[in-house]
Amino acid sequence: MLRIAVPNKGSLSGPAGDMLHEAGYRQRRGTKELVLVDAENEVEFFYLRPRDIAIYVSSGKLDIGITGRDLLLDSGAGAEEMLPLGFARSTFRYAARPGTLTGLADLAGTTVATSYEGIVGKHLADQGIDASVVHLDGAVETAIELGVAQVIADVVETGTSLRNAGLEIVGEPILTSEAIVIRRTGADPEAPKVRQFLRRLQGVLVARSYVMMDYDIRAESVEQAVALTPGLESPTVSPLHDRGWVAVRSMVRAEEAQRIMDELYDLGARAILTTGIHACRL
């Protein structure tokens, strides 16, 4: 059985469960279920705190885990990234009251509040900045108003939390993060069950970002049309009963589908259809 760590709370938890469900795995019904065996797929899921997942995976007791890149780096655990999953995207940044700091050099001598001491400690050391770090569990934006710190270092997505606290970003992002699949550093990347799990998740990523596009086009315009829809390998071109026309079928990035449909229409294509992809293996 493949043993997989899944976040049980927070921003990673819902989207991770949705992705596993789309990949055909059983998922827990309620938040009190902490372990779930999916016997049919020979997988056992352990629902754990996102922060603890890298530690379990690095111990070798669990084969793989889903966590945030920032949480992996913060933990310092012996685990490594295998596949980015495209959700829980964020940046990690310093912030302070407007006008108090002009750049990173001004961090010297300040106290920085954060839930990510590992990342911040390493970043300050790498930059040669001498600042104190105070650990808080969450809601770190409030630490400045309450006088516990002059600077915070935290996850920023939309920036709403910073704006609401009257803070502004200082310097460039320390890192960019998203949900990732991790394994123990040095574990066999070719283990067949691990490869199969990753292929399923990759299938979900592709199904989410591509659509299938079908259209009819005059035979003389087919080369121009397939240049717009080259597909992943090569589009399928089938003859129509009317020999002057062909039907084309190709995968297209969902975000480009409308623009491509307009361009195909201008080339003379008709009956242009897009349909969703439920699952795939490339």
Ligand X SMILES: Nc1ncnc2c1ncn2[C@@H]1O[C@H](COP(=O)(O)OP(=O)(O)OP(=O)(O)O)[C@@H](O)[C@H]1O
Q: Which of 6, 41, 50, 167 binds ligand X (CB under 6 A)?
A: 50
CB-nearer residue toward ligand PRP: 10 or 231: 10
Q: Which residues contact 39 (CB under 8 A, 6 or more apart)?
A: none
Nearest distance in Å: CB 36, ligand X: 19
Part in contact with ligand X (CB under 6 A); list of ranges 4-12, 78-86, 186-194, 207-215: 4-12
Instruction: Indicate the residue among 98 and 128 with the shorter CB distance to ligand PRP.
Output: 98
The dihedral through the CA atoms of 235, 238, 243, 245 has a sign that is negative
Distances (CA, A) of 3 to 41, 43, 193, 230, 279: 11, 6, 10, 39, 23
CB of 116 to ligand X, least distance (A): 9
| Binds 159: which of ligand X, ligand PRP, none (CB < 5-8 Å by kind) | ligand PRP
Which distant-in-sequence residues (6+ apart) come within 8 Å of 103 by Cβ? 170, 171
Contact 277, 266 (CB under 8 A): no
Helix axes 192-209, 10-22, angle to 10 degrees: 100
Q: What secondary structure letter does DSSP report for 254?
A: G
Q: Is residue 17 at the binding interface for ligand X, with CB under 6 A as the rule?
A: no
- 65 makes contact with ligand X (CB under 6 A): no
Q: How near is the Cβ of 78 to ligand PRP at its closest, in Å?
A: 25
Q: Which of 155, 181, 204, 272 binds ligand X (CB under 6 A)?
A: 155
Of the residues 98, 99, 138, 244, which one makes contact with ligand PRP according to CB under 6 A = 138
Give 181: exposed, middle or buried? Use CB within 10 Å, 0-12, 13-18, 19+. buried
Q: Which of 17, 68, 203, 235 binds ligand X (CB under 6 A)?
A: 68
Mapping DSSP to helix (H, G, I), strand (E, B) and coil, where does residue 182 land? strand
One character per residue 81-120, x = contact with ligand PRP (rule: CB under 6 A): ----------------------------------------
- Segment interacting with ligand X, rule: CB under 6 A, options 3-11, 75-83, 144-152, 200-208: 3-11
Q: Which residues of 261-270 are buried (b: 16+ CB within 10 A; e: fewer)?
A: bebbeebebe
Q: How far is the CB of 225 from ligand X (least distance, A)?
A: 39
The CA distance from 53 to 74, in Å, is 12
Look up tokens 């690095």; give the residue: 58
- Residue 70's binding partner among ligand X, ligand PRP, none (Cβ under 5 to 8 angstroms by kind) is ligand X
Span of 43-51, 98-106, 159-167, 241-249 interacting with ligand PRP by CB under 6 A: 159-167
The residue among 160 and 275 lying less far from ligand PRP, judged by its C-beta, is 160
If you ran DSSP here, which 8-state letter would residue 93 be given? E
Binding residues for ligand PRP, rule CB under 6 A, total 11
213 alpha carbon, distance to own chain's centre: 26
Q: Which residues, 176 to 205, sit near ligand X by CB under 6 A?
A: 177
Name beta bridge partners: 152.
95, 113
Residue at shortest CB range from ligand PRP: 138
Angle at 98 between CA 94 and CA 99, to 5 degrees: 105
